[in-house]
Amino acid sequence: MGPIITKNRVEDLKTLLRHRKDEAIFISKLENVRYLTGFTGSNGALLVFTHQDISPIFFTDSRYEEQSAIQLTASNCEDIKVLVSRPNGPKLLEQVSSEALRHDIQTLLIESSDLRVSALEELGTFLATHIDTKSSIGVVESLRRKKDDAELQAIERASEIADQALIRVKGLLREGTSERDFAVELEYQMMKLGADERSFASIVASGPRSSLPHGHPTDRVIAEGDVVIVDFGAIYNGYHSDCTRTFSIGEPTPQVQEVYDLVLSAQLEVISHVRADSSCKSLDEIARDVLRKSGVEHLFIHSLGHGVGLEVHEEPFLSARSETVLSPRYVITVEPGVYLPELFGVRIEDTLVVTKDGSKALTKVDKDWIIS
């Protein structure tokens, strides 16, 4: 996997911290560490000071010494100092504290929705009364909303891999295939096509189970007349895709056809309104409005969508409560759904990149939904 970042990201973070009047931040969330440094291992952290003259410091353990050196160099992060904790030396959090204490700061931001209580306690012991810690949420995440070219290319490639994998296994969507077998083959094809990993545990929910929005695959065998929801994605170079298609095995009943058409029209209506300056809240309302006119808005029991990037669910969140306004280069999903308990459900989802005047679909696999 090639590097896809530049050191500008750390500079952007410093600028943000300056605006917030913060002195330093301890970044423990691995996706944020990866975003800023290119490091992909399972143990790494970053200390960033607002002051222009103080270099950021990257922390890892001896297992990742070689890998982190290669990855930080490839990411143009040569100005980041690297400290490696070793089995018989000071622990990582002790090193973080020592580095923070070397500089004249009074308060250190922590990522409170990531850091474990025991880690904060350890940090607090080392920092004693010299530095206070202060909780923060979403600082680096706010930078991650707007994707650069390399990030968009990675999400586009992840989406293509997922599309191609679905095309390869679509023939298995027939009477006699179990949900589980279909999911295993779909994920295998994504891996064969070059995915780092699947984006999340695929949802394959057939028959009455399609009314469960998060139906994990079971041994249930697909039968003629079933509705099948398939929600899946690939990761490429760390970046996710997310796509849902709903299928009818054989001719749909008039009711299924009606619900499918309605969900599709809600999705297309929202997509026609996606553009820079649209508010997330208004898009959610557009979907609900389409469904409300047919009296099924109460069967749309989740929010409209979410951002996609280094995490499959990230900012911005497209819900009735979101105050966020879209900007160019945001990558989002639009995924209305209608679920009739114990009967069937329909969800249609695409991953899109927001542009100045509209949006571009990244997941492109067709919506040819009737398997005859």
Closer residue to a copy of itself, CB minimum distance, 216 or 275: 216
Report the nearest approach of a copy of itself to the CB of residue 127 (Å): 14
Query: How many Å is the maximal CA-CA distance in the chain?
Result: 71
State the burial class of residue 53 (Cβ atoms within 10 Å of its Cβ: 0-12, 13-18, 19+).
exposed
Nearer to a copy of itself, 171 or 341 (CB): 341
CB of 345 to a copy of itself, least distance (A): 13
Q: Are strands 107-111 and 24-27 parallel, antiparallel or unpaired?
A: parallel
Q: Report, in Å, the least distance between residue 7 CB and a copy of itself.
A: 25
Q: SS3 for 340?
A: strand
Nearest distance from residue 183's CB to a copy of itself, in Å? 9
The residue among 218 and 257 lying less far from a copy of itself, judged by its C-beta, is 218
Q: Which residues bind a copy of itself (CB under 8 A)?
A: 62-63, 66, 87, 110, 112-118, 120-121, 135, 137, 184, 187-188, 191-192, 197, 201, 212-214, 301
Q: Is 253 helix (H, G, I), strand (E, B) or coil?
A: coil
Question: How far is CA 33 from its chain centroid?
Answer: 15
Nearer to a copy of itself, 66 or 175 (CB): 66
Tell me the closest approach of the beta carbon of residue 357 to a copy of itself, in angstroms: 33
Decide: helix, strand or coil at residue 74. Answer: helix
Name the strand (E) or helix (H) holding 83: strand 81-85
CB nearer to a copy of itself: give 167 or 301.
Answer: 301
Cβ nearer to a copy of itself, comparing 84 with 274: 84
Strand (E) or helix (H) holding 134: strand 132-136
Phi, psi at 237, each rounded to 5° = 55, 35
Which SS3 state, helix, strand or coil, does residue 321 take? Answer: coil
Containing H/E element for 331? strand 331-334
**SS3 at position 226:** coil
CA distance 247 to 257: 11
Question: Residues in the chain, how many?
Answer: 372
Nearer to a copy of itself, 15 or 171 (CB): 171
- Nearest in space to 188 (alpha carbons), one of 232, 220, 239, 152: 232
Which residue, 31 or 114, has its beta carbon nearer to a copy of itself? 114
Which residue number, 99 or 187, has a Cβ lying nearer to a copy of itself?
Answer: 187
Whether the Cβ atoms of residue 23 and residue 136 lie closer than 8 Å to each other: no
Residue 180, CA distances (Å) to 86, 114, 159, 173, 244 in order:
43, 32, 22, 12, 17
CB of 13 to a copy of itself, least distance (A): 20
Identity of the residue numbered 137? I
Identify the sign of the CA torsion 249, 251, 253, 256.
positive
